[in-house]
């Protein structure tokens, strides 16, 4: 899955307001000085972790963990696990 596809999914989540945490995260990041584009890219990174787990481990999408990662933004401590 490409970065553009992840951004598109985040944009769709915003349009649908589902999960609500995505909209809340965008508002929080914008209020703390991040551009909309940057905020969307951060959220796409959080989504990438879940998509990666689904593909690699044949797992189900973990909404709770996705929302926890959204709460951590703009910090991305999970990046260390991918290096």
What does the pLDDT profile of the chain (83 residues) look like in tens digits?
899 999 999 999 999 999 999 999 999 999 999 999 999 999 999 999 999 999 999 999 999 999 999 999 999 887 765 54
Query: How many independent structural domains does the chain possess?
Result: 1
Note the pLDDT of residue 73.
Answer: 97
Contact predicate 26/70, CB 8 Å: no
Query: What range defines the domain where residue 12 resides?
Result: 3-73
Contact predicate 43/70, CB 8 Å: yes
Q: Is residue 78 part of a domain?
A: no
Note the pLDDT of residue 80.
Answer: 67
**Gap between the Cα atoms of 70 and 75, Å rounded:** 9
């Amino acid at each position: 899955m490409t970065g553009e596809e992840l951004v598109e999914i985040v944009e769709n989540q915003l349009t649908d307001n589902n999960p609500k945490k995505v909209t809340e995260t965008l508002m929080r990041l914008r209020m703390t000085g991040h551009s909309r584009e940057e905020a969307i890219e951060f959220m796409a990174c959080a989504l990438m972790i879940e998509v990666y787990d689904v593909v690699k481990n044949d797992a189900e999408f973990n909404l709770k963990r996705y929302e926890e990662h959204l709460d951590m933004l703009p910090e991305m401590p999970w990046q260390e696990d991918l290096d």
